[in-house]
Amino acid sequence: MKETLSYEKLVEGITSGIARLETVTTTQLERNSILQGRMDTHPVDLYWEFTDGDITYKTVIHSSCWEKAVSNSDLFKFVSLLRDIPGQTTGVLFSQPVYDKDIRQLAKDAGVLLFELSREAAAPRREAVVHNPGIQVDTDWARAEKERLGLEHETFQFSGDPKYLFLYDEQNNCVDSVHGVITGYLQRREGASMERSSVHHYFETPTFLQTDNEFIPYVKLTSVMFEIEYVDPNESMGDEIAQAILAHVLGYYSR
């Protein structure tokens, strides 16, 4: 069964994303905050206050409609909250998809960003990111082949996308690619330790890589190596949402 995106995890990601913003200065960032309005106090999920050097902006981020689409009454209630907070105050409401054009327009006019994000949009599990893919040449084979051809000082270089670094057997049949080796390793690792690690995949049968050298068109490899880092997709999602919220707030007040 596919895991669902936790709202708590999402808010945590947004909070971290806001904290990493460098184009404005955050003066207050508080989860489960109680805001004092002109007429009443208001509990909110996330409150963000920042300045661009001239103006202080206030943003209320709320989850009341996280599991359903925002209704007219939901929106009016939220707008009333925003209007009770003095200063330059806008808001963000998370919601299931909203198909009512009138609600969308009302939210836009009132300075409310409707962030429609399905709970099935992502799973709160870590994803693998590969760094520094490379190959290890069989140096003994390369030395013997150069001596056999009288090309002791010959060199060859490898570069390019791992998807297009194709691997061959002794009969020059293409059997895989560097990318294929890495992908296969990751598939076998599903459910294993999530710690960052360096990997050497050693070939059990003779495996060759095509070169750009006309005298030695193929070179024998011993292994493919790479590093794996596991990242939380909600963290990058939080960065993207933080940027979208910032653009919404600044855009609303620059109209």
pLDDT digits (tens, 9 = 90+) for 14-73: 899 999 999 999 999 999 999 999 999 999 999 999 999 999 999 999 876 567 788 889
Rg (CA), the chain: 27
Same domain for 56 and 153? no
CATH of the domain at 245: 3.40.1350.10
| 127 burial via Cβ count (<10 Å: 0-12, 13-18, 19+) | middle
Mean per-residue pLDDT over the chain, rounded: 85
Same domain for 237 and 227? no
Quick one: pLDDT at residue 78?
93
Whether residue 184 is predicted with pLDDT greater than 70 in this model: the reply is yes
Count: domains in the chain: 2
Instruction: From 255, 207, 208, 237, select the one nearest 117 (Cα to Cα).
Output: 237
pLDDT band at residue 4 using 50, 70 and 90 as cut-offs:
very low
d(CA 11, CA 241): 10
pLDDT band at residue 88 using 50, 70 and 90 as cut-offs:
very high
d(CA 14, CA 5): 13
Whether 213 is covered by a domain: the verdict is yes
- Check: pTM over 0.75? Answer yes or no: no
What is the arithmetic mean of pLDDT over 114-140?
75
Whether 241 is covered by a domain: the verdict is yes
Same domain for 81 and 101? yes
In angstroms, how far is CA 52 from the centroid of its own chain?
26
Whether 1 is covered by a domain: the verdict is no
Instruction: From 113, 45, 116, 55, select the one nearest 79 (Cα to Cα).
Output: 113
| Alpha helix ranges (H) inside the chain | 7-19, 72-84, 101-109, 139-149, 178-188, 233-253
Q: Give the H or E element holding residue 205.
A: strand 197-210
Same domain for 150 and 79? no
Do the bridges between strand 127-137 and strand 166-168 make them parallel or antiparallel, or are there none, so unpaired? unpaired
What is the arithmetic mean of pLDDT over 108-135?
76
Same domain for 117 and 173? no
Parent domain of 215: 127-231
